[in-house]
Chains A and B, each alone.
Chain A
Amino acid sequence: MGTKTILLVEDNADDEALTLRALKRRNLANDVAVVRDGAEALDRLFGGGPQSGKAPADLPAVVLLDLKLPKVDGLEVLRRIRADARTKTLPVVVLTSSREETDVVRSYDLGANSYVRKPVEFEKFFQAVEELGLYWLLLNESMPAARRH
Chain B
Amino acid sequence: MEGGVLQTALDPDAAPPGGDDFRRFSRVAAAGAALLGSLALIGWICGSPALKSILPGLVTMKANTALGLVFSGAALGLLAGRPPRPAWSRVLGGVCAALPALLGLLTLAEYGFDCRLGIDQLLFREPAGAALTTHLGRMAVPTAVEFLLLGAAMLLTDRGGARRAAQGLALAAAAVAGVPFAGYAFGWERLFVAGGATPVALHTAAAFILLSAGALSVRLADEQAAWVRRHAVGLGFWAAFFLLAFASVGAFCGVRGLLAANRWVAVTHALLEWNARLLAAVESAEAGSRGFVLTGEPEFLSSYASDGRLARECLRESAAIARDPGSRGELAVMGTLVAKKFAFMDETLALRRRQGRAAAERLIAKGEGKRRMDALLAAAAGFAAGERRLLEVRTAAVRAEAALTLTFLAGGSLAGLALLGAVFWTLRRESALRRLNEERVLQLNELLARRKLELEAANKELEAFSYSVSHDLRAPLRAMDGFSQALIEEFSDRLPSQGRDYLGRVRAAAQRMARLIDDLLALSRVTRTELRREAVDLSALAWSAGEELSRCEPGRRVDFSVAPGLRAQGDPALLRVVLDNLLGNAWKFTALKPRARVEFGAAESDGQTSYFVRDDGAGFDPAYTGKLFGAFQRLHGSSEFPGTGIGLATVQRIIRRHGGEVWAEGAVGRGATFRFTLPR
Contact = CB atoms under 8 A, between A and B. Distances in A.
Contact of A18 (B470, B474, B486): B486
A15 interface: yes
Contacts of A120: 481, 511
Given A98-B467, A99-B521, A100-B467, A12 B475 contact: yes
Contacts of B472: 68
A99 B478 contact: no
A43 B481 CA distance: 33
Interface in B439-490: 467, 470-472, 474-476, 478-479, 481-483, 486
Contacts of B475: 12, 14-15, 97
Nearest to B473: A97
B471 A98 contact: yes
A21 B474 CA distance: 19
B481 A96 contact: no
A68 B471 contact: yes
B483 to A, nearest CB: 7
B474 A119 contact: no
Interface string B503-541: 000000001000000100100000000000000000000
Interface in A28-52: none
A99 B486 CA distance: 24
B478 A118 contact: yes
B193 to A, nearest CB: 94
A98 B518 CA distance: 9
A58 B493 CA distance: 42
A18 B521 contact: no
Contact of B478 (A18, A21, A100): A18
A18 B481 CA distance: 10
Contacts of B483: 14, 17-18
Nearest to A25: B489
Contacts of B521: 99-100
Interface string A53-72: 00000000000000110000
Nearest to B467: A100
B526 to A, nearest CB: 12
Contacts of B511: 120
A18 B476 CA distance: 12
Contact of A119 (B470, B476, B482): B482
How many A residues are at the interface, by size bracket?
A: 10 to 19
Given A21-B486, A68-B471, A99 B479 contact: no
Interface string A1-24: 000000000001011011001000
Interface string B71-105: 00000000000000000000000000000000000
Nearest to B471: A68
Contacts of B479: 14-15, 18
Contacts of A67: 471
Nearest to B486: A21
A12 B482 CA distance: 13
Given A18-B486, A21-B486, A97 B471 contact: yes
Contacts of A99: 470, 518, 521
Given A18-B486, A99-B518, A99-B521, A119 B471 contact: no
B271 to A, nearest CB: 112
Contacts of B470: 97-100
A119 B511 CA distance: 11
A68 B474 CA distance: 12
Among B478, B483, B486, find the residue whose CB has the most chain A CB atoms closer than 10 A.
Answer: B478
Nearest to B482: A18
B478 A97 contact: yes
A106 B34 CA distance: 86
A97 B486 CA distance: 19
A96 B471 contact: yes
A15 B483 CA distance: 10
Contact of A14 (B467, B471, B482, B518): B482
Interface string A92-105: 00001111100000
A14 B483 CA distance: 9
A52 B288 CA distance: 160
B194 to A, nearest CB: 95
Among B479, B482, B511, find the residue whose CB has the most chain A CB atoms closer than 10 A.
Answer: B482
B667 to A, nearest CB: 36
A18 to B, nearest CB: 4
A70 to B, nearest CB: 13
A119 to B, nearest CB: 5
A23 to B, nearest CB: 13
A84 B471 CA distance: 28
A100 B471 CA distance: 9
Contacts of A118: 478
Contacts of B518: 99
A8 to B, nearest CB: 15
B482 A97 contact: no
Nearest to A22: B482
Interface string B321-351: 0000000000000000000000000000000
A36 B511 CA distance: 26
A97 B481 contact: no
A7 B254 CA distance: 112
B531 to A, nearest CB: 15
Interface string B235-275: 00000000000000000000000000000000000000000
Interface string B548-589: 000000000000000000000000000000000000000000
Contacts of B467: 98, 100
A93 to B, nearest CB: 17
Nearest to A14: B479
A68 B467 CA distance: 10
Contacts of A17: 483
A120 B467 CA distance: 19
Contacts of A98: 467, 470-471
B519 to A, nearest CB: 11
Contacts of A97: 470-471, 474-475, 478
Nearest to B480: A14
A104 to B, nearest CB: 12
Among A96, A97, A118, A119, find the residue whose CB has the most chain B CB atoms closer than 10 A.
Answer: A97
A145 B16 CA distance: 91
A105 B220 CA distance: 64
Nearest to B522: A99
A14 B467 CA distance: 20
Contacts of A100: 467, 470, 521
A12 B483 CA distance: 14
Nearest to A21: B486
A126 to B, nearest CB: 16
B111 to A, nearest CB: 91
A21 B490 CA distance: 11
14 contacts: A14-B476, A14-B479, A15-B475, A17-B483, A18-B479, A18-B483, A68-B471, A97-B478, A98-B471, A99-B518, A99-B521, A100-B467, A119-B478, A120-B511
Given A15-B478, A99-B470, 7 more contacts: A12-B475, A14-B475, A97-B471, A98-B471, A99-B521, A119-B478, A120-B481
Q: Top 6 A-B pairs ranked by shortest CB distance? A: A14-B479, A18-B482, A97-B474, A68-B471, A119-B482, A98-B470
